[in-house]
């Protein structure tokens, strides 16, 4: 029995997380090569609990986007290396040194500030060098690398232990852009060696690349969405990934409306027959996307019921006319599995025109997470 104060909650299946991790570790050649990406609160799954579970599986590297996310892990007692992918903003340098965090470096001014903080604290700060091989976002351009390296080598309190890049089209394994980025990354490694720099950690593979064998010589790989049971794209739907997030609620009220009666704001749904409407205590403030109006479905007792009427801030209505056994208090699955059926994040994403990553991340903090072993 799972007990929470609110009848709307997210159940995080840690067994499924371990299953997905085992697949990644097998592909990577061992748990020690995994840098688990737990940014954005582990894609909405709860970074602290997820990191602790993965730590028990042998993960020793974690990736966050922000200093604040890394601080949360440190305060929870996680002392393993944390790579902060989002870099160092002015004023954060002392915290990076004090918390022993590893930042990505992709601009010289930030490197100089960080070097000064390292000197003031009397310690060297480990960094990973970010290279833009074709993402067009952040990172030093390969053609600028010789001059960049000359300046970085003058910063005696920075210790460059890693080099990384990021793939823009890895979710499409057939794209020639992947090979172009890999070729640029290989050239970057050659340039580093020319400057007698031999970083211990080399990584470019994300979830999609890990399952595409794009660059097996990487010393680290960075799975994210696949750890949580999401496919990087439809090309990877054959993978045996188990959903980790199961979003539940209950039926709060039921009423039968006559034909011709409108439901919810704007009366975007009007009954065509006597209709049993079940109201659920969940809405877009919880992350149940308003665009699921008229196209979403939920699972009740393993059977599907359509969302009808406009999704509200705190309420959602479904049609249970064809499910006469459903009563007040019945368990409802919004996302995840119930019985033999499962509503995956990919299904939501297709219905509302987004990606599964956003589906996971949209689940509001006001929805409690419950961790199931």
Whether the pLDDT of residue 187 is over 50: the answer is: yes
Length of the chain in terms of residues written:
373
Domain with CATH 2.40.37.10 in the chain: 245-343
From 319, 303, 329, 327, select the one nearest 261 (Cα to Cα). Answer: 319
Whether the pLDDT of residue 217 is over 80: the answer is: no
Share of the chain above pLDDT 90, in %: 95
Per-residue pLDDT band for 1 (boundaries 50, 70, 90) equals: very low
Q: Residue 317: beta bridge partners?
A: 279
Place of tokens 């939920």: 298
Lowest mean pLDDT among 20-34, 211-225, 290-304: 211-225
Domain with CATH 3.20.20.10 in the chain: 14-229
Question: Which contiguous run of DSSP H or E holds residue 190?
Answer: helix 176-194
Per-residue pLDDT, 110: 96
Average pLDDT over residues 209-234: 90
Residue 173: how many CB atoms within 10 A of its CB? 17
Whether the pLDDT of residue 238 is over 50: the answer is: yes
Binding region for substrate: 137, 313
Superfamily grouping for domain 245-343: Lyase, Ornithine Decarboxylase; Chain A, domain 1 (2.40.37.10)
Average pLDDT over residues 78-99: 96
Per-residue pLDDT, 78: 96
Average pLDDT over residues 156-170: 96
Q: Residue 262: beta bridge partners?
A: 270
Binding region: 137, 313
265 is catalytic: yes
Q: How far apart are the first and last CA of the chain?
A: 12
Per-residue pLDDT, 215: 67
More confident residue, 1 or 372: 372
39 is catalytic: yes
d(CA 95, CA 68) in angstroms, rounded, equals 10
From 77, 97, 76, 78, select the one nearest 88 (Cα to Cα). Answer: 97
From 227, 212, 231, 219, select the one nearest 170 (Cα to Cα). Answer: 212
Tens digit of each residue's pLDDT (9 = 90 or more) over 311-354? 999 999 999 999 999 999 999 999 999 999 999 999 999 999 99
Q: Where are any strands of DSSP class E within the chain?
A: 9-13, 35-37, 61-64, 82-84, 102-105, 125-130, 158-164, 201-203, 245-250, 253-257, 262-263, 269-270, 275-280, 297-300, 303-306, 316-319, 331-338, 341-343, 369-372
Tens digit of each residue's pLDDT (9 = 90 or more) over 53-65? 999 999 999 999 9
Mean pLDDT estimate for the chain: 96
**From 9, 39, 211, 231, the catalytic residue:** 39
DSSP letter, residue 6? S
Q: Is 190 exposed, middle or buried (0-12, 13-18, 19+ CB in 10 A)?
A: exposed
CATH architecture observed for domain 14-229: Alpha-Beta Barrel (3.20)
Tens digit of each residue's pLDDT (9 = 90 or more) over 127-162? 999 999 999 999 999 999 999 999 999 999 999 999
Per-residue pLDDT, 3: 52
Per-residue pLDDT, 338: 97
Q: Is 202 exposed, middle or buried (0-12, 13-18, 19+ CB in 10 A)?
A: buried
Per-residue pLDDT band for 214 (boundaries 50, 70, 90) equals: low
pTM summary value: 0.95
Whether the pLDDT of residue 4 is over 60: the answer is: no
Average pLDDT over residues 25-48: 96
**From 150, 195, 255, 265, the catalytic residue:** 265
């Amino acid at each position: 029995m799972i007990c929470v104060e609110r009848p709307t909650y997210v159940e995080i299946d840690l067994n499924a997380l371990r299953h997905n991790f085992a697949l990644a570790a097998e592909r990577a050649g061992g748990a020690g090569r995994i840098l688990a990406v737990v940014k954005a609160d582990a894609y909405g799954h709860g970074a602290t609990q997820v990191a602790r579970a993965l730590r028990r599986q042998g993960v020793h590297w974690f990736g966050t986007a922000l200093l604040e996310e890394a601080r949360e892990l440190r305060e929870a007692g996680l002392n393993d290396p944390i790579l902060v992918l989002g870099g160092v903003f002015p004023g954060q340098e002392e915290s990076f040194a004090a918390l022993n965090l590893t930042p990505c470096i992709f601009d010289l001014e930030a490197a100089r500030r960080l070097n000064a903080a390292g000197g003031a604290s009397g310690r060297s700060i480990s960094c990973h060098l970010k290279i833009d091989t074709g993402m067009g976002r952040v990172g030093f351009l390969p053609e600028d690398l010789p001059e960049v390296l000359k300046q970085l080598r003058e910063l005696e309190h920075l210790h460059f232990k890693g080099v990384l890049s990021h793939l823009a089209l890895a979710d499409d394994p057939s794209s020639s852009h992947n090979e172009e980025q890999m070729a640029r990354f290989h050239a970057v490694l050659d340039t580093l060696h020319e400057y007698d720099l031999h970083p211990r950690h080399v990584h470019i593979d994300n979830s999609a690349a890990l399952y595409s064998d794009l660059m097996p010589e990487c010393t680290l790989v960075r799975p994210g969405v696949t750890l949580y049971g999401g496919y990087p794209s439809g090309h990877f739907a054959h993978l045996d990934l188990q959903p980790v997030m199961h979003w539940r609620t209950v039926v709060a009220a039921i009423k039968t409306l006559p034909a011709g009666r409108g439901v919810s704001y704007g009366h975007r749904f009007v009954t065509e027959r006597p209709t049993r409407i079940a109201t659920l205590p969940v809405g877009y403030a919880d992350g149940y996307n308003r665009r699921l109006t008229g196209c979403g479905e939920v699972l009740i007792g393993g059977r599907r019921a359509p969302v009808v009427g406009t999704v509200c801030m705190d309420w959602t209505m479904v049609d249970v006319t064809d499910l006469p056994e459903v009563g007040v208090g019945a368990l409802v699955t919004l996302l995840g599995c119930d019985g033999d059926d499962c509503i995956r994040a990919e299904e939501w994403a297709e219905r509302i025109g987004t990606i599964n990553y956003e589906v996971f991340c949209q689940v509001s903090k006001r929805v409690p997470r419950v961790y199931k072993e």
